[in-house]
Structure 1
Amino acid sequence: MRRLSLLVFLLAVCSWCFAQAPPLNEKAFTDSLENVLQQAPSDSIRARANYLLSEFWAAKDSLKASQYLEKGKQYSGQHSYLQALYYFYEGNLLKKGDYDKSQASFMKADTLLSRFKTAEAYTFRSKAWYDYGAIAQRKNDYKAFADILLNKAIPLAQQAGDQTAAGRDYLAVGIVFKNASQFDKAEIYCLKAIETFRNAHSPSHELVTAYHTIAENYSLSARNAKAKPALDSAWKLLEPFPESDYLLDHYAAEGMYYTLEGKFKDALASLDKGIQLARKKGMRYEEQRLQMQQFYAYFNDNNFVKAKEMATLLMQQKEMMQLVSNRQQLYYGMALTCENLHQMGPAYTWMKRYSELSDSLARTQLTNDVHAMEIKYRNAEKQKEIDALKAKGIQDALHAKNSRLVNWLLGAASLILLVVLLFALFVYRSKQKLAAQKELSYRQHLHEIEQQQQLQFSQAVLQGEEQERRRLARDLHDGLGGMLAGAKINLSAQIEDTYSQGQRAELEKITQQLDHSVTELRRIAHNMMPVNLLKFGLKTALKDLCESLMSENTRIDFQDLGFEDTLREEVQIHIYRIVQELLSNAIRHAQASNIILQCSQNDHIFFITQEDNGKGFDMQAAGNEKGIGLSNIRNRVGFLRGKIDIDSAVNEGTTINIELHVD
């Protein structure tokens, strides 16, 4: 029973999340992409084909993958979308060797792709977040991976309408729960992924991966009988492709199933098929992963000699020993193997190495095993001494000494165990605090990035709006205004040459209409870009604005409480537009007859207060409406890092207070 639990525990530790993978028929897939490179009508298609080939070869031949990636970048040229995709595929290439650089590339891809509001862009952003989280998982931050899947990858996949990507994310969540030994939750997400793949008619390899995952989950959760139907479903899809990489996962899952069934010969035969295929493909890590499964089969079959040989072989492989989880498995497995072979010295040594490598409070039971192994080892050494003393005829003295030694060992072991437990508790709590701080820092960083992007976007919109206003005002005044003025001059000349009184009166009427048109045109041009603001400053421009809006039905009291006209032109324009919009809303929408406008400045803070006796509005009902005027005011206030406060009620007028940073 202990050996079976060892297998279940260690297999759960070593389960890694899958990556986006090619179709089952890999040769047809790569051949089709090579044909595209030869026959593609455009560089953009060639760029995409090179990117896909880079992704395919990333796990097999990093040099070839790098060459395809750089060719894709060359074909991308100045195409900003393809340039953004480059960083996604760069992150995919780097994730085997440099986790930090890979995560940085994925985040850069997400930032650049966020400018594009297309389904494909959302899909790639979802995949970028997925891969970013998968790397976090490999750094043992499972919580971050689950959080990214649920709050980033899945929402983006759903926004793209990409059910295949969503199913892949559900399956990844299931794997996280499986690795955490929460098998019931893992089953829910695995079944949800399978259902999503089926409904979306996803590629067969997605279903194959899902079947393998849920089969392993059933085996690890002591429901081995339910694993067989899942394995059979995967085999139906894999059988036509005897060279597929997915067969390696199938043989691994099948080996686990047979091992837990106690059919060790079948398990070893299935795993050997996988090993031969991995060697044929030159996939050394996959070969070693299957050999690790063979170690479990030998161990559970009580063939401890073969188990030790296999563990010794694996510990000589650099690919296997690169991962901390693999070293943990081998050290722990070797310790138990040596214990069953009654080799207590090596057993203690391997258990100690495992204990030094492990740093989690969840391994407290293993700490107890270390001390138990230490006592067995020392007792075995003491027994040798007893045997030697017996041969010398001093058995009685040895018994007394041994009794004192055992008591001392028990007391020392108890004290050491207490110290280790306290230290482990301290380390665990420290890591919890550190993880919480990292998560908080990460969220704050993302929030700052979002705020910066929003500020840049608002700035660009406002600058573009002002430039367009200036252009239209100039075109209206210089172009259309000049034409109307010329038409009036020509018409006035015609009046002088007309002798008919009726014709003269009609022409004078038309001349008056042209005068009114020129006046209205100048008024429109002035509103779009007031000349007084550029020539005489903000104070004069605001005063002229108030005077121009006053009428018999509307009175505006403009109160200048003191502010500088030395503000930057850009800031003055924003303030002018805010006041213009406030007055326009009060006159047109609130139908106010009396308006008080106050403007003042205190150091780098500019204050705007407007009160009116208009009809007001319901603040709660207005909160659900999105008016263009109020939105423009909020954008400009936000651009100047200010704040706005509105107080209004139906038939009680409106008061608006605005503070702006103008430094």
Structure 2
Amino acid sequence: MAQPYQQQVDSLHKLLQKATSDTTRIRLLRGLALAYAQMNEGEKAIRIGNEALSLCRQKHLKFEEARTRYSLGTVYLYLQNTDSAIAHYSITRQLIENESGPDAKKLYARTLGNLSNAYSLKGFEGISLQLLISALPIFEEMSDTGSYAITLHNIANKFLNANEFRKAYPYFLKSVSLIEKDPSVPGKAGVYLSVAYLMLELDSMDRVKHYLDKAEQALTAVGQTREWSNYYAYKASYYTKSGKFSLADSLCRKAIAQQAVYPDRMNLHNAYSMLQENFFVQRRYREAKVYAALINRMAREDNIPTFLIASLHDLSDLSKKTGNITDAYRYLSEYTQLKDSIDKKEAAIKLSEMEMQFQSSRKEQQIFELQSRAKMQKLLLWGIVIPLILVILFFLYLFKQRKVRTLQQLQSLEQRQQIEVTQALLTGEEKERHRLARDLHDGLGGMLAGVKLNLSRMAEEEAPQNTTLHSAIDQLGSSVNELRRIARNMMPESLLKSGLQTALKELCENSMSPKVQIIFHAFNINVNIPSQIQIIIYRMIQEILGNAVKHSGASWIMVQCSQAEDTFFITVEDNGKGFDAAQEYEGMGLHNIRSRVTFLKGNIHIDSSDNGTIINIELNVAA
């Protein structure tokens, strides 16, 4: 694992743990994805990049999604997955193509640049060049000198790779002029190295040395960077052309050694290419073929058609020079097939462009005639099609409306049936509670009170010293009181006589114990709430309080009730041990509470943890 990138990863992870805002988390995740990609840890890079993308989409952050797509495209580009890189860059373009802000414009232009690089790796140099040229005016408009200079440099490289050196030269000169005027422009060393390579191709050895020295100065100012590998490789090429083969070989090995610190397949390809060139110039064709084969293998692994074509051509030539005609023919055949395939795709694009140019250059009269004929045909066609479309749309509209009305009627009927069933159950339940409460209070309660009265008279007259009898009388009295308390809870008189607020206050007071303190607050409760709804609200709070007292282990419970017009709010909070609402759905009585909430067209939210439970309920109490 490369140490500089590992330090960056560790730092980003620490910052991520402290991040509080979504945008900060997304930015740090993007940085981590890119760092892992530079370390060739593709799986981690993609997973973290997708995590950032998921957060963007979850929070509906469109511009952050565009930035994250751009970063993911760059991750895939590092990993040599050009198809995925192109897909993400293309989506980035779609997300921001209509945005006019400076940040969006800059991101759009940079996306064009990276998309150009991806197409170039696939061998589509024409499309790649077109994208770069379309990015130039955007950078120029924004006065982004650094990006403008780098884009000029990349355009020059396109011409350089196509061996059109005279076209490349002015672009390189302008790029060098811009980076030397502005010290803050990044990537100076890369520009100097490319110009040095151009000078090598033009056999201007003095100018090669001049730009290599400038590149070395720029790299020394930066310190440790992956660009040192390219510097060693290009300087090795300079020594090869100067006939200093031993020095060239040493520098190529040094470039390869940089992979241990800064893993980079492109830089490794450059180093192998320079080693191949060094051996080729010395006519050591077998050694040159070894490195051509390595480049070929890398190109296949990374799926880079540009490098694959060049390596096949070199392998064919080297096989011929080493006397292996069979391999030479095989490599040449594969080279021809691959190049033809790419050329066909390029030709299709160029043919499309030529067709457009041809159409635009036709005579005015021919164009007018074609347009007139087309116009008449369109008018005739639309004269038939539009009425037909309108009729179809009308019938589709009628069908859809009918379907919607039928669905609405079914839903309305289902809702009415559900409400009627729930209302019947609640009404039956309350009637049964009322009957049981009356029977307990008036029947069994009266009988037990009579028994206590008779036993008390007998104890006073016949056995005043019988402590066992007096104890039994006391226990019977407690039982009578408990029976009456149960009867009151089943149908509290205070709810019928004094209203909901008073009944809830008494419920909280009666539910308290030495271990549990219950606090009740009420605000703006309307006394005109229908009695059936008051009973439902009372039963819900009674159920919640009962559960909390029995199961939560709380030392305090707070009940708050308030009303705003036709909406009634209930909040019950405790400091108990919490519960899992999903697992304890039936056992904790939540089913009954949810049924009542649904009946009153309300909603309920439960937040429970080890630190306690908060239940929030909203109800519609309109008559």
TM-score, L = length of structure 1: 0.47
Instruction: Pick one of 31, 37, 57 that aligns with 2:16.
Output: 37
Residue 66 of structure 2 corresponds to residue 84 of structure 1: yes
Which residue is 2:33 aligned to?
Answer: 54
Partners in 1 of 2:324 and 2:126 — Cα distance?
40
Which residue is 1:178 aligned to?
Answer: 160
Partners in 1 of 2:354 and 2:41 — Cα distance?
35
Deviation at residue 328 of structure 1 after TM alignment: 3.2
Deviation at residue 160 of structure 1 after TM alignment: 3.0
Residue 67 of structure 2 corresponds to residue 67 of structure 1: no
Partners in 1 of 2:91 and 2:345 — Cα distance?
31
Is residue 53–residue 69 contact of structure 2 (8 Å, CA) maintained in 1?
no
Secondary structure of 1:181's counterpart equals: coil
Instruction: Pick one of 236, 245, 268 that aligns with 2:217.
Output: 236
Which residue is 1:214 aligned to?
Answer: 195
Partners in 1 of 2:229 and 2:354 — Cα distance?
36
Residue 107 of structure 2 corresponds to residue 124 of structure 1: yes
Cα 1:190–1:47 shift into 2, 3 Å? same
Count of residue correspondences = 353
Is residue 289–residue 320 contact of structure 1 (8 Å, CA) maintained in 2?
no
Partners in 1 of 2:259 and 2:287 — Cα distance?
21
Partners in 1 of 2:151 and 2:334 — Cα distance?
36
Which residue is 2:96 aligned to?
Answer: 113
Residue 122 of structure 2 corresponds to residue 143 of structure 1: no
Cα 1:125–1:297 shift into 2, 3 Å? same
Is residue 288–residue 318 contact of structure 2 (8 Å, CA) maintained in 1?
yes
Unaligned 5+ segments in structure 2 are: 360-393, 395-623
Secondary structure of 1:47's counterpart equals: helix
Partners in 2 of 1:313 and 1:111 — Cα distance?
38
Which residue is 1:415 aligned to?
Answer: none
Deviation at residue 275 of structure 1 after TM alignment: 0.8
Deviation at residue 285 of structure 1 after TM alignment: 5.5
Instruction: State how 1:609-648 maps to structure 2 within 5 Å.
Output: none
Which residue is 1:162 aligned to?
Answer: 144
Partners in 2 of 1:315 and 1:114 — Cα distance?
38
The amino acid that maps onto 1:65 is A
Is residue 87–residue 108 contact of structure 1 (8 Å, CA) maintained in 2?
yes
Residue 379 of structure 2 corresponds to residue 437 of structure 1: no
Instruction: State how 1:132-531 maps to structure 2 within 5 Å.
Output: 132-151=115-134, 153-204=135-186, 206-239=187-220, 243-284=224-265, 286-317=267-298, 322-359=303-340, 432-437=347-352
CA deviation string 1:550-585 (max 9, x = no partner): xxxxxxxxxxxxxxxxxx9xxxxxxxxxxxxxxxxx
Is residue 285–residue 318 contact of structure 2 (8 Å, CA) maintained in 1?
yes
The amino acid that maps onto 1:73 is L
Q: Which moved more, 1:85-94 or 1:243-252?
A: 85-94
RMSD: 3.6
CA deviation string 1:376-397 (max 9, x = no partner): xxxxxxxxxxxxxxxxxxxxxx
Partners in 1 of 2:28 and 2:200 — Cα distance?
39
Cα 1:49–1:190 shift into 2, 3 Å? farther
Unaligned 5+ segments in structure 1 are: 1-23, 361-426, 445-567, 569-663
Is residue 233–residue 271 contact of structure 2 (8 Å, CA) maintained in 1?
yes
CA deviation string 1:281-302 (max 9, x = no partner): 4445543441232111111112
Partners in 2 of 1:173 and 1:215 — Cα distance?
16
Greater C-alpha Rg: 2
Is residue 200–residue 238 contact of structure 2 (8 Å, CA) maintained in 1?
yes
Is residue 259–residue 297 contact of structure 1 (8 Å, CA) maintained in 2?
yes
Cα 1:303–1:233 shift into 2, 3 Å? same
The amino acid that maps onto 1:48 is R
CA deviation string 1:479-536 (max 9, x = no partner): xxxxxxxxxxxxxxxxxxxxxxxxxxxxxxxxxxxxxxxxxxxxxxxxxxxxxxxxxx
TM-score, L = length of structure 2: 0.50
Deviation at residue 280 of structure 1 after TM alignment: 4.8
The amino acid that maps onto 1:214 is V
